[in-house]
Structure 1
Amino acid sequence: MTTVQTAKDVIDQVKAFHRKLGDFYQNLSDKVEKERVKILLEYMSRHQDNLAAILEEYEADLSENILNTWFMYVNKECDLTPFFNANLGPDMTAQQIIKVAVELDQCLLETYEAMLHKEVPDEVTKVFQGLLEMEKKEKNKMAKNALKIETM
């Protein structure tokens, strides 16, 4: 489905995605029994909430001109099969959680990469390039910290 969106629309959608993921991980942490898995889920929930807050600050620093830039965007649905295919229950493993998290983060990376291929002013391209780099960095940080928690 092709839609016309502003840069602000896309940033707001990504913020909402991070918040929903944070809530998802927190709700899951309330159901699991293994302490290490609970710690991992709580960390991942805080990490997603932190990313939403970072995006909020990032957006506040952008000019109205950049935020209001319109462009055509082919909206590719995020692949949420990791939610549905994973055995996400009280006896899940840390490995299962990490696998789902990495697959979901890929959705955001693809969104930012798609934005870089649009014909928009250079300053808008720079915004999405910066967001892509931040998301890659945070994905690596999350994966490293998740592995540390898993091996505690």
Structure 2
Amino acid sequence: MNKSDLQTALLILPEDYRQNAFEFLTEHTNYTLEDFIDFIKDQLDQMQRAYEYELQDKDDEIASLQNDYEAADYGYDELQDDFEALDDDYGKLEEELITVQKEKEELAEYAFGLKNALDKAGVYVELKQPSCLSHKELMNFYSRS
């Protein structure tokens, strides 16, 4: 791995992780390439865990919104007097559900894009499939590579 590859690896890291890498380089002036690669891998592992937690939170939010959606739909027939309020809630829940699903997809795309960029930079990291991604979503992301 040459200096350009290291710079590329640093540039694709989000700001917080990039700052950590610069601090590492400042504090460890006699680092070996292997030490730095291990440090970057550790940072990527931390990022992956953070994204997995965020994806799981989004999945939980989607499930909650779907339950609210079903409850609102069931309650529609039961509560004719509250029709307008339920209709408004229904529309808001649909919008929130779409927003959450888009955010989930963007996070997953970012994680896979980051992995591809690191692979190209020569830093190979195993990206485990977060349990919240379906097989169909995973295949869709791999087919874009």
Which TM bucket (shorter chain)?
Answer: 0.3 to 0.5
Q: TM-score if structure 1 supplies the norm length?
A: 0.39
**Higher-helix-fraction structure:** 2
Structure with more relative contact order (C-alpha pairs < 8 Å, separation 6 or more): 2
Greater gyration radius: 2
Q: TM-score if structure 2 supplies the norm length?
A: 0.41
